[in-house]
Amino acid sequence: MGKLINGNKIAAEIKNEIKKEVDELVRLKGVKPGLAVILVGENPASKVYVSNKQKGCDEVGFASETIRMPDTATTAEVLEQIDLLNKRPDIHGLLVQLPLPQQIDKNMVLEAILPEKDVDGFHPINMGRLVAQEDCLVPATASGIIEMLKREKVVMKGANAVMVGHSEIVGKPTALLLLNEWATVTICHIETKDLKMHTRNADILIVAAGVPYLIKEDMVKDGAVVIDVGINRIVKEKANPELLEWRKEDFEAKGATLIGDVDFLKVEPKSSLITPVPGGVGVMTVAMLLYNTMKAARNQARK
């Protein structure tokens, strides 16, 4: 019953739209959007995310650069880099890849980024504007989820939307965007007493917990739209027989596979629409980061 939402296809559409806008901005204003990423330390997952962001920039014709800093960098050193990038007119978007090493004050770092260059949308000014429904830069995973729902023509107005996960990066901004679309929103988290009671009521179920197999078939209403944000790496030794069979090629080639928070094989037949992992929300996140950078460049070119 479930139809797959093809994140790759929607992300490609968005990138094409951005590419056209880049050409126009270069032609009319002589401005090429530029994104800078600060990467502190050697976290392997962060390195992959940063390289995907750079690839995305190349695809749409942005200038991009990565500032690599050692694991031992101090808050002051990161702030110094941010200050330099804040002042550069050729850099329109700036982000610091998370997580940061323990010694660095994350809030100080995020608040040092100029709100108009804050393409991750994590600055309290952008967060506040989101709450107030003012124009702002919105965290990319959250806006990617809403964009997918819109392009799949999912009716949000009046729908029961359940958000599992309440992080600043995904859960909270997604819940706010759903509310802005007039959904009736429930936010669940680790302390929620009866998760199933809430999820079974969802017309739109969005899951960002980082817990594989959290959402089982009996927790999902027939015909629900299911958006799986979770990214969990499962090594061969920890995989169950079903997963070993389903992802045979991954295990043979890499010894591991990526799955979401939803028990996909069991939930998919009950859903009307569902995102795969990989190929769902993850690719949308990069596309929406590029969208934010385009928007930031357009706004700065107007000044």
Question: Counting contacts by CB under 6 A, is residue 173 touching ligand NAD?
Answer: no
CB of 104 to ligand NAD, least distance (A): 17
Q: Quickly tell me which residue has 């994140």 as its tokens.
A: 7
Question: Counting contacts by CB under 6 A, is residue 165 touching ligand NAD?
Answer: yes
Q: Establish whether 196 is a catalytic residue.
A: no
Question: Counting contacts by CB under 6 A, is residue 210 touching ligand NAD?
Answer: yes
Q: Distance between CA 21 and CA 229 in Å, rounded?
A: 28
Q: Distance between CA 207 and CA 261 in Å, rounded?
A: 7
CB of 194 to ligand NAD, least distance (A): 11
Cis peptide before 276 (omega within 30 of 0): no
Question: Counting contacts by CB under 6 A, is residue 125 touching ligand NAD?
Answer: no
From the candidates 15, 117, 118, 120, give the one annotated as an active-site residue. Answer: 120
Q: Establish whether 97 is a catalytic residue.
A: yes
Q: Distance between CA 90 and CA 4 in Å, rounded?
A: 39
The residues in 48-87 that bind ligand NAD, with binding defined as CB under 6 A, are none
CB of 231 to ligand NAD, least distance (A): 4
Question: Counting contacts by CB under 6 A, is residue 166 touching ligand NAD?
Answer: yes
Q: Distance between CA 209 and CA 171 in Å, rounded?
A: 9
Q: Which is nearer to ligand NAD, 1 or 190 (CB)?
A: 190
Q: Establish whether 218 is a catalytic residue.
A: no
Do residues 229 and 261 make contact, with C-beta atoms less than 8 angstroms apart? Answer: yes
Residues contacting residue 134 through CB under 8 Å, at least 6 positions apart: none
Beta bridge mates, 204: 161, 225
Radius of gyration of the chain (CA): 20
Task: State which of residues 176, 224, 229, 296 lies at the interface with ligand NAD (CB under 6 A).
Answer: 229
Show which residues are catalytic: 53, 97, 120
Binding-site ranges for ligand NAD (CB under 6 A): 141, 164-167, 169-171, 188-190, 192, 195, 208-211, 214, 229-232, 281-282, 285
